[in-house]
Amino acid sequence: MAKIKVGIVGGTGYTGVELLRLLSQHPNAELAAITSRKEDGMPVADMYTNLRGKVDLAFSSPDKARLTECDVVFFATPHGVAMAQAQELLAAGVKIIDLAADFRLQDLASFEKWYKMPHACPDVLRESVYGLVELNREKIRGARVVGNPGCYPTTVLLGLAPLLEGRAGASPLVDASTLIADCKSGVTGAGRKAELHILFSEASDNFKAYGVSGHRHHPEIVEHLQTLHGGPVGLTFVPHLTPMVRGMHSTIYARIDPKARDVDFQKLFEQRYADEPFVDVMPVGSTPETRSVRASNMIRIAVHRPGNGDQLVVLVVQDNLVKGASGQAVQNMNLMFGLPEDAGLGQVAVLP
């Protein structure tokens, strides 16, 4: 088959360069356009020398990029950019994968509250599909527009899905009103920009929580948990900044329902993800490390029940730039074009 012509809007940030790294090795993709107003004309490999000999394109300003001639366009941009260009691209038959938040939340009021802007194309939003493959695989196959999940939501949703999905009208496994997600991210989660709190001398040798009173990933997680659960959920979500470049570790707490005390939760998770190429349910007693997924599209999950009591603890690790962003976006592209889901995503994690 002919290669998929790929455009990337916003190729200079961390998620943009991860897309370049992954797609430059993809057997079915052809990089056709990389946009950047500021770096117009600069060879990509001059900025990211790891791509020398792999990516021959130069950055081009959006007006020169001819994105409507692509088969798919990835938006690795700030919020608001994708929705401003979506209708023109869709009219030209181009599929869209947005790594920002324009197509993640179906609740317009919630989107406008958290992202401080009106939605430019509610009609496109209504047809968009949330791109968490392990939950929406079949819908993604037929989608024209995919909203790639946030990094924190990916870990929390996959960590809780086996406990909540399909339970509407059935006996619950956990108390869905008291869920807790204690999450930590590497500094690249803040993007490639010069801000005081992510300078080396500020972030290194330090650890802190942020967004405790409210974080924009919270409504995204809750919206999709409620879809899974078929009813309301209560979630306490606390993100933290850790002094590492990439990686994410989420510790999730769920109170076991008294009627579910005899459930084998390890088996439940193993069966739910048995056929998932990028979800690894680890053996009993495991404590997954962020370095075990570094630069890979794998997510690793460990299930604990301390003292065989009524508290379930789920540990989830991923690379925030790969499964938490660009790798998941490529996974979505593969489904949208009928390719093997793991095409171009076979990278083994980097150790040490």
Contact present, 243 and 184 (Cβ < 8 Å) = no
Contact present, 293 and 321 (Cβ < 8 Å) = no
Helix (H, G, I), strand (E, B) or coil at 103: coil
CA 153, CA 221: separation in Å to the nearest integer? 5
Determine how β-strand 311-318 pairs with β-strand 248-255: antiparallel
Best CA proximity match to 31, nearest among 55, 15, 51: 55
> Could you tell me the two tokens for 93?
């038959």
User: How many residues are given for the chain?
Assistant: 352
Cβ-based neighbours of 123, under 8 Å, separated by 6 or more = none
Catalytic residue among 70, 121, 151, 183: 151
Q: CA of 57: how far to CAs of 52, 72, 134, in Å? A: 10, 17, 33
User: Residue 179 forms beta bridges with which residues?
Assistant: 235
Q: Dihedral, CA atoms, 108, 110, 112, 113, nearest 10 degrees?
A: 160
Best CA proximity match to 333, nearest among 19, 16, 17, 9: 19
Output the furthest CA–CA distance in the chain (Å, rounded): 63
Assess whether 151 carries a catalytic annotation. Answer: yes
Active site residues: 151
